Chain A
Amino acid sequence: MIIVSEEEDDSDSNPLFFLRQPVYDSVLNINHDYRYLRMGYYVSAHAETFGVEVTPNCTEIMDAYRNPLLMEKAKRNGIRTNEYRLITSVKSEFNAPVLLFAVNPFTNNSMKVVDSDSKLPEMIKRMSMGARFPVSLHPLTGEVHEIVQMFGESTNEETLAFTKRFYEVFNIPICKLVVQIDDGGVVLNHCEPAIKKEVKWDIVHDKMHEIKQGH
């Protein structure tokens, strides 16, 4: 297995070098940002072109980063979500408080908490860029947390079992998750790139070391 990482300690290759070479071995792609058209995505795409196994693969990346795909995959695999809706304009059945996530190609860190019905139309209009793109609307039922998931480990002890399950299902080595915690436990709402400084790189290095030993 080749480990490709933007953090060069313990890795076999950095993304730029990797992209210039043919690939013959399976690949573990470690990056804080796998968004489409970013380096993290290209590493996985390059490995796929050469027909080798790669973690995460491009389908897994897109399934995690596009909100409706995330929600559907989570539901199918028994990860708790709440009833999200894809909308481009306000419908009468939606009541604040809600969480909104933009489903357009341009926005990252797009979460908005809207606590009053009167603010919903303007916010949806803005986030949908005038109804050009859908907005994913989630009911607000618990306490909102942003956690960083690294190979199933979490920056929040309370969500450790949840992040382990998330990693089993989604196979994304590093990401930020937006969740709600209520009496029933943890509810998944969104997945996006982690900010590099939010990642606990010592955990990532330990995991990389374990994986290398295993091979």
Chain B
Amino acid sequence: MKIACFVEAYNFEIKSEEKALLKFKSTAETMGHSFEFIYKDDISRISDYDTLFIRATTDPSSCAYIISRLAEQYGLKVIDDPHSIRTCSNKVILHDIFQKNNIPSPGSVLFYGDYSHEIIGGIFKSLGCPVIIKTPYTRFSSHVEKASNIAEFIEISRHLLRKAKVLVVQEYVRSDFDWRVGILRNEVIYLCKYYIPKGGWKVKSKINGKNVWGETIAVSRDTISPELKDLSINLSKHIGTGLYGLDVKETNDGFKVIEINDNPSIYDGFEDVIDNDIYEKIISELVS
């Protein structure tokens, strides 16, 4: 089969990401398929391929969404499909999905910019202090801020509301790491711990003015706790059958999902260290 892999130039800037992309290519070729990197200038010829794998950053506003939807309409198998992109890219929609389906997650509310005493007081009363404020389009820990008091909340939210109509305000759950559960077709295909860097409070933290990423430690998927596995698979089923990465906090009160991402990072030497068959599994899914 002819596999198209939609990428942008930045996907080749980090060595470990480039190596992972080349592993996808060599795995596909070993399995008897062609695998071609395509770019935004190639969007119009997507119907020349049998299947599409997107590795460029996805968002409904991006070129990745356009190629995903065109490919779907031409009948190609697509990872990431347009529905998954629309759902996972938007934290407001995820908030709705978590609430409707009783997904265990930190307490959260939507904030539209009503600064009345009743609303602001209610937020801190129900979520505690500090709170996390996110824009709908946050990714890689960007546009996620922590407010430790009402004054900070007002300042941060006013700033973020300049570009967003609504914000997600979430209970802060302290942890040393987030579980990252990699899911494909509603099965766990890899498991990692994404550590919070020392002195920070999220996986990519600003420390002394510099962006610092925490360590990634791969863990065998066979060791996943049944509770975490059930929770992850249950949530992924509410989105679709694609490739997802869930971020989950482990607390004294059980596991709590922070978010589910389409287009999860897969870097050589990170997510693939223990369960290194993830390349084969993804290619097999693309050509199934």
Contacts and interface: CB of A to CB of B under 8 A. Distances in A.
Interface of A: 16, 19-20, 22, 36-39, 42, 45-46, 49-50, 58-59, 62-63, 66, 68-69, 72-73, 76, 85-88, 103-105, 133-134
Contact of A22 (B73, B82, B100): B100
Contacts of A72: 70, 73
A45 B60 CA distance: 13
A68 B90 contact: no
Nearest to A128: B40
Contact of A103 (B63, B82, B110): B63
B110 A68 contact: no
Contacts of B65: 62, 66
Contacts of A37: 61, 90, 136-137, 164-165
Chain B residues touching A, range = 20 to 34
Given A103-B63, A134-B63, A62 B82 contact: yes
Interface of B: 40-41, 43-44, 59-63, 65-66, 69-70, 73, 82-83, 86, 90, 92-93, 96-97, 100, 110, 112, 136-137, 164-166
A89 to B, nearest CB: 8
B165 A133 contact: no
A85 B44 contact: yes
Nearest to A45: B93
A86 B96 contact: no
A38 B217 CA distance: 38
Contacts of B82: 59, 62
A58 B166 CA distance: 18
22 contacts: A22-B100, A36-B60, A36-B61, A37-B61, A37-B165, A45-B92, A49-B100, A50-B100, A58-B86, A59-B69, A62-B60, A62-B86, A66-B65, A69-B69, A69-B70, A86-B44, A88-B41, A103-B63, A105-B61, A133-B40, A133-B63, A134-B63
**Interface of B: prevailing SS:** helix
Contacts of B90: 37, 45
B96 A105 contact: no
Contacts of A133: 40, 63
Contacts of B110: 19-20
Contacts of A59: 69, 82-83
Contacts of A45: 86, 90, 92-93, 96
A49 B110 CA distance: 15
Contacts of A19: 110, 166
Given A42-B166, A86-B43, 19 more contacts: A36-B60, A37-B136, A38-B165, A42-B92, A42-B165, A45-B86, A45-B90, A49-B93, A49-B96, A50-B96, A58-B86, A62-B65, A62-B86, A66-B69, A73-B73, A86-B41, A88-B40, A134-B40, A134-B43
Nearest to B135: A37
Contacts of A105: 59, 61-62
Contacts of B73: 72-73, 76
Most chain A beta-carbon neighbours within 10 Å: one of B40, B83, B110, B166: B40
